[in-house]
């Protein structure tokens, strides 16, 4: 009795899921990617200054220098360490300090006399994220303390225009709101590539793909089974991570519809799983496939707008990345999860992802069919 094609695809997909359950390395990767990796991305990468090490060479020992030192406190800086002048360079060379502030002799007297004494700030510029932002922090703190000391009152400068700031979608400017959600988006892309490609290569190395060739199944059915089964695993993991790790553990507010985002992720998975199968047909072994994944996933993640705004990229790169599904998926995900956009806003991105996924699926199917014909 001939079975319906959908029944065949369902059985083949269940076979893929059973094969995944027998692979502890892949199971560990899935669990880690949607738990520990999300938590780390949301908590371990502060964008603002945090506990930067600073040393003070106080050659003035005055009330003004004491005010400046007292202002350089956590959470932006570690408690300042007093050092002598000959210790400053050695501390920078050894990496013990990121900043060394040198307050010259007679600093308070020169300030009160109306002079402009120079305060030297030495920065370890190899610690780029802290060095670039911390330089401005120290300048602002020193200038504010000097102005207050001279005027005797911490005065707020009057401006002709009052700027009323309203922080939309992330009122407390918490980096975890951005880092954790973007990490889920990145993991959806990475895992879908790895799982589908590794499943095909594993079958080829174990010889089980030859068993399928003698069965009454078509290449389209085999590929569709791999797409839906591995896509389902990634989709379930992403849903768990979004609802449990992000919303409950990290306490990140998701403004939009989780169901709508899962729809966008499902459309995106059609494209990325097809890419994984295509790369698996190109690679001859698992190490070669790993290299192809690295070469593919890095530009997809870095140039899709999730790590760096697309507006800051060259025009040629922006145009080229329009052909990548991650660009439109990231745009739709940010609109849904950050700004609460509905289907009426993100449908162009979803339609584009579906179109790109259809093209990728067709190309991968043609390549997969040719590979099976050569093996037959």
The b-or-e profile of 261-296 (16+ CB within 10 A means b, else e) is bbbbbbbbbbbbbbbbbbbbbebeeeeebbebbeeb
pLDDT band at 188 (very low <50, low <70, confident <90, very high): very high
Residue 45 has pLDDT above 80, yes or no: no
Residue 204 has pLDDT above 60, yes or no: yes
* Predicted local distance difference test score (pLDDT) of residue 158: 61
pLDDT band at 278 (very low <50, low <70, confident <90, very high): very high
* Predicted local distance difference test score (pLDDT) of residue 172: 60
Residue 271 has pLDDT above 60, yes or no: yes
pLDDT band at 76 (very low <50, low <70, confident <90, very high): confident
Mean pLDDT of 69-76: 85
pLDDT band at 169 (very low <50, low <70, confident <90, very high): low
Residue 166 has pLDDT above 80, yes or no: no
* Predicted local distance difference test score (pLDDT) of residue 332: 93
CATH 3.40.1710.10 region(s) of the chain?
A: 54-151
Mean pLDDT of 257-267: 94
Out of 145-154, 190-199, 221-230, 272-281, pick the least confident: 145-154
* Predicted local distance difference test score (pLDDT) of residue 155: 52
* Predicted local distance difference test score (pLDDT) of residue 265: 95
Task: Count CA atoms within 13 Å of residue 58 on its CB side.
Answer: 17
Out of 4-8, 160-164, 191-195, 324-328, pick the least confident: 160-164
* Predicted local distance difference test score (pLDDT) of residue 370: 87
Mean pLDDT of 128-149: 83
Mean pLDDT of 69-95: 86
Q: Of residues 125 and 280, which shows the higher confidence score?
A: 280
Mean pLDDT of 291-315: 87
Mean pLDDT of 6-14: 87
* Predicted local distance difference test score (pLDDT) of residue 91: 86
pLDDT band at 375 (very low <50, low <70, confident <90, very high): low
* Predicted local distance difference test score (pLDDT) of residue 252: 84
Residue 50 has pLDDT above 80, yes or no: no
* Predicted local distance difference test score (pLDDT) of residue 366: 92
* Predicted local distance difference test score (pLDDT) of residue 167: 66
pLDDT band at 326 (very low <50, low <70, confident <90, very high): very high
CATH of domain 54-151: 3.40.1710.10
Between the alpha carbon of residue 314 and those of residues 176, 296, 304, 349, the distances in Å are 28, 19, 13, 21
* Predicted local distance difference test score (pLDDT) of residue 47: 53
Out of 66-70, 126-130, 136-140, 300-304, pick the least confident: 126-130
Residue 156 has pLDDT above 70, yes or no: no
* Percent of the chain predicted with pLDDT > 70: 90
* Predicted local distance difference test score (pLDDT) of residue 37: 92
* Predicted local distance difference test score (pLDDT) of residue 322: 92
Residue 139 has pLDDT above 80, yes or no: yes
* Predicted local distance difference test score (pLDDT) of residue 168: 67
* Predicted local distance difference test score (pLDDT) of residue 338: 85
* Predicted local distance difference test score (pLDDT) of residue 346: 93
């Amino acid at each position: 009795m001939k079975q319906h094609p959908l029944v065949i695809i369902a059985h083949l997909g269940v076979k893929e899921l059973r094969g995944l359950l027998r692979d502890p390395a892949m199971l560990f990767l899935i669990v880690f990617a949607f738990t520990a990796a999300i938590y780390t991305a949301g908590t371990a990468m502060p964008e603002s200054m945090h506990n930067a090490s600073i040393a003070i060479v106080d050659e003035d020992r005055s009330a003004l220098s004491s005010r400046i030192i007292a202002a350089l406190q956590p959470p932006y800086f570690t408690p300042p360490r007093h050092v002598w002048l000959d210790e400053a360079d050695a501390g920078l060379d050894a990496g013990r300090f990121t900043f060394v502030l040198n307050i010259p002799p007679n600093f308070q007297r020169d300030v009160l006399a109306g002079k402009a004494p120079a305060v030297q700030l030495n920065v370890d510029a190899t610690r780029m994220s802290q060095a670039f932002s911390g330089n401005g922090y120290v300048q602002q703190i020193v200038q504010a303390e000097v102005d207050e000391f001279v005027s005797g009152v911490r005065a707020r400068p009057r401006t002709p225009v009052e700027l009323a700031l309203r922080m939309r979608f992330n009122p407390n400017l918490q980096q975890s709101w951005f880092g954790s959600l973007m990490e889920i988006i990145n993991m959806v892309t990475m895992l879908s590539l790895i799982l589908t490609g590794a499943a095909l290569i594993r079958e080829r190395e174990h010889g089980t793909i030859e068993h399928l060739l003698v069965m009454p199944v078509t290449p389209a059915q085999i590929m569709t089974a791999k797409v839906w089964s591995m896509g389902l695993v990634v989709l379930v993991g992403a849903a768990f991570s979004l609802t449990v790790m992000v919303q409950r553990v990290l306490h990140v507010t998701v403004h939009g519809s989780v169901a709508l985002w899962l729809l966008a992720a499902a459309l995106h998975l059609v494209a990325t799983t097809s890419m994984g199968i295509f790369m698996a047909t190109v690679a001859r072994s698992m190490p070669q496939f790993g290299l192809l994944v690295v070469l593919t996933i890095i530009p997809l993640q870095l140039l899709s707008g999730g790590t760096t705004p697309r507006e800051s990229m060259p025009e040629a790169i922006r145009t080229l990345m329009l052909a990548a599904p991650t660009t439109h998926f990231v745009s739709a995900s940010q609109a849904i999860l950050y700004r609460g956009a509905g289907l009426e806003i993100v449908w162009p991105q979803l339609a584009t992802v579906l179109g790109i996924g259809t093209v990728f699926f067709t190309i991968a199917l043609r390549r997969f069919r040719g590979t099976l014909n050569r093996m037959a």
